[in-house]
Protein backbone atom coordinates (compact mmCIF):
# COMPACT_ATOMS: atom_id res chain seq x y z
CA UNK A 1 0.00 0.00 0.00
CA UNK A 2 1.27 3.49 -0.80
CA UNK A 3 0.92 5.15 2.59
CA UNK A 4 1.28 8.60 1.05
CA UNK A 5 -2.11 8.49 -0.66
CA UNK A 6 -4.29 6.38 1.60
CA UNK A 7 -7.40 7.92 3.13
CA UNK A 8 -8.12 5.05 5.51
CA UNK A 9 -6.26 4.43 8.75
CA UNK A 10 -3.79 1.56 8.57
CA UNK A 11 -4.60 -1.37 10.83
CA UNK A 12 -0.98 -1.33 12.02
CA UNK A 13 0.49 2.15 11.48
CA UNK A 14 4.12 2.09 10.40
CA UNK A 15 6.37 3.96 12.84
CA UNK A 16 9.99 4.83 12.19
CA UNK A 17 11.75 4.99 15.58
CA UNK A 18 15.07 6.80 15.78
CA UNK A 19 17.17 6.57 18.91
CA UNK A 20 20.90 6.24 19.44
CA UNK A 21 20.41 4.30 22.66
CA UNK A 22 19.97 0.60 21.80
CA UNK A 23 18.10 -0.24 25.02
CA UNK A 24 15.58 2.60 24.69
CA UNK A 25 15.05 1.81 21.03
CA UNK A 26 14.44 -1.89 21.78
CA UNK A 27 12.08 -1.12 24.67
CA UNK A 28 9.95 1.33 22.66
CA UNK A 29 9.93 -0.95 19.61
CA UNK A 30 8.79 -3.94 21.65
CA UNK A 31 6.10 -1.94 23.48
CA UNK A 32 4.70 -0.25 20.36
CA UNK A 33 4.73 -3.50 18.41
CA UNK A 34 2.66 -5.10 21.16
CA UNK A 35 0.23 -2.17 20.98
CA UNK A 36 -0.56 -2.65 17.30
CA UNK A 37 2.14 -0.74 15.43
CA UNK A 38 4.48 -1.93 12.72
CA UNK A 39 8.02 -0.77 13.48
CA UNK A 40 11.19 0.21 11.69
CA UNK A 41 14.18 1.29 13.72
CA UNK A 42 17.19 3.44 12.96
CA UNK A 43 20.17 4.32 15.10
CA UNK A 44 21.53 7.21 13.09
CA UNK A 45 20.18 10.02 10.95
CA UNK A 46 21.41 8.90 7.52
CA UNK A 47 19.85 5.47 7.94
CA UNK A 48 16.65 7.10 9.22
CA UNK A 49 16.33 9.41 6.21
CA UNK A 50 16.81 6.52 3.79
CA UNK A 51 14.14 4.46 5.53
CA UNK A 52 11.72 7.40 5.65
CA UNK A 53 12.24 8.16 1.95
CA UNK A 54 11.96 4.51 0.90
CA UNK A 55 9.15 3.24 3.13
CA UNK A 56 7.20 6.44 3.86
CA UNK A 57 6.10 5.59 7.43
CA UNK A 58 2.88 6.91 8.90
CA UNK A 59 4.82 8.73 11.62
CA UNK A 60 8.44 9.26 12.66
CA UNK A 61 9.54 9.36 16.30
CA UNK A 62 12.99 10.67 17.16
CA UNK A 63 14.65 11.55 20.40
CA UNK A 64 16.74 14.67 20.87
CA UNK A 65 19.48 14.81 23.45
CA UNK A 66 21.38 17.80 24.73
CA UNK A 67 24.11 18.68 22.23
CA UNK A 68 22.52 16.58 19.47
CA UNK A 69 23.09 18.07 16.03
CA UNK A 70 22.52 15.26 13.53
CA UNK A 71 18.83 14.90 14.44
CA UNK A 72 18.22 18.57 13.65
CA UNK A 73 19.80 18.00 10.26
CA UNK A 74 17.58 14.96 9.75
CA UNK A 75 14.43 16.93 10.60
CA UNK A 76 15.45 19.72 8.22
CA UNK A 77 16.12 17.19 5.44
CA UNK A 78 12.81 15.41 6.01
CA UNK A 79 10.87 18.67 5.88
CA UNK A 80 12.74 19.92 2.79
CA UNK A 81 12.23 16.75 0.74
CA UNK A 82 8.86 16.65 -1.10
CA UNK A 83 8.54 12.87 -0.62
CA UNK A 84 8.92 13.06 3.19
CA UNK A 85 7.82 16.55 4.21
CA UNK A 86 4.24 15.50 5.05
CA UNK A 87 5.25 12.63 7.34
CA UNK A 88 4.45 13.70 10.91
CA UNK A 89 7.51 13.91 13.14
CA UNK A 90 7.14 13.44 16.90
CA UNK A 91 10.14 14.50 18.96
CA UNK A 92 11.01 13.18 22.42
CA UNK A 93 13.13 15.64 24.40
CA UNK A 94 14.69 15.75 27.84
CA UNK A 95 12.67 18.07 30.06
CA UNK A 96 15.84 20.02 30.80
CA UNK A 97 16.09 21.52 27.32
CA UNK A 98 12.99 23.70 26.78
CA UNK A 99 14.54 25.56 23.84
CA UNK A 100 14.46 22.30 21.88
CA UNK A 101 10.66 22.22 22.04
CA UNK A 102 10.24 25.58 20.33
CA UNK A 103 12.98 24.79 17.81
CA UNK A 104 11.27 21.48 16.95
CA UNK A 105 7.93 23.21 16.37
CA UNK A 106 9.59 25.85 14.20
CA UNK A 107 11.28 23.07 12.19
CA UNK A 108 7.86 21.61 11.36
CA UNK A 109 7.61 18.80 13.89
CA UNK A 110 4.06 17.76 14.63
CA UNK A 111 4.44 17.20 18.34
CA UNK A 112 7.00 17.45 21.12
CA UNK A 113 6.87 15.10 24.11
CA UNK A 114 9.04 15.20 27.20
CA UNK A 115 11.01 12.15 28.24
CA UNK A 116 10.42 9.91 29.93
CA UNK A 117 7.27 9.09 28.00
CA UNK A 118 5.48 5.89 28.93
CA UNK A 119 5.01 3.55 25.95
CA UNK A 120 1.22 3.45 26.37
CA UNK A 121 1.07 7.26 26.28
CA UNK A 122 3.37 7.30 23.24
CA UNK A 123 1.12 4.74 21.49
CA UNK A 124 -2.01 6.78 22.19
CA UNK A 125 -0.31 9.94 20.96
CA UNK A 126 0.92 8.27 17.77
CA UNK A 127 -2.55 6.93 16.96
CA UNK A 128 -3.96 10.44 17.40
CA UNK A 129 -1.27 11.91 15.12
CA UNK A 130 -1.90 9.30 12.40
CA UNK A 131 -5.68 9.75 12.55
CA UNK A 132 -5.52 13.55 12.54
CA UNK A 133 -3.19 13.49 9.53
CA UNK A 134 -5.63 11.25 7.65
CA UNK A 135 -8.51 13.56 8.56
CA UNK A 136 -6.65 16.51 7.02
CA UNK A 137 -5.76 14.52 3.90
CA UNK A 138 -9.22 13.01 3.43
CA UNK A 139 -11.25 16.23 3.69
CA UNK A 140 -11.35 17.99 0.31
CA UNK A 141 -10.83 21.73 0.32
CA UNK A 142 -13.64 23.82 -1.14
CA UNK A 143 -12.88 26.99 -3.05
Q: Residue 20: which CATH number?
A: 3.40.50.2300
| Three-class DSSP category at 64 | strand
Range(s) of the domain holding residue 95? 14-133
pLDDT tens-digit profile of 24-50? 888 889 999 999 999 999 988 999 999
Position 139 confidence tier, pLDDT thresholds 50, 70, 90: very low
Q: Is residue 1 part of a domain?
A: no
Q: Is residue 2 part of a domain?
A: no
What's the mean per-residue pLDDT of the chain?
84
| Mean pLDDT value of segment 83-92 | 94
Calculate the alpha carbon distances from 58 to 14, 21, 55, 86, 103 in Å: 5, 22, 9, 10, 22
pLDDT of residue 125: 92
Q: Is residue 55 part of a domain?
A: yes
Q: Is residue 79 part of a domain?
A: yes
| Mean pLDDT value of segment 7-19 | 83
Q: Is residue 123 part of a domain?
A: yes
Cα–Cα distance, 24 to 26 (Å, whole number): 5
| Mean pLDDT value of segment 91-118 | 85
Calculate the alpha carbon distances from 100 to 97, 105, 130, 143 in Å: 6, 9, 23, 37
Q: Is residue 104 part of a domain?
A: yes
Number of structural domains, the chain? 1
Q: Is residue 23 part of a domain?
A: yes
Q: Whose CA is closest to 62, among 37, 45, 79, 80?
A: 45
Q: State phi, psi for 14 to the nearest 5 degrees.
A: -85, 120
Position 129 confidence tier, pLDDT thresholds 50, 70, 90: very high
pLDDT of residue 49: 96
What is the DSSP code string of 69-80? -HHHHHHHHHHH
Q: Whose CA is closest to 64, among 48, 51, 80, 53?
A: 48
Q: Is residue 9 part of a domain?
A: no
Position 140 confidence tier, pLDDT thresholds 50, 70, 90: very low
Amino acid sequence: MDRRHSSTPPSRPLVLLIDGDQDTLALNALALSGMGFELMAAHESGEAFTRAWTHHPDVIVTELRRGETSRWGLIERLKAEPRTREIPVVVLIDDGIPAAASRAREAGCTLVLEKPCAPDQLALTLRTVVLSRLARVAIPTRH
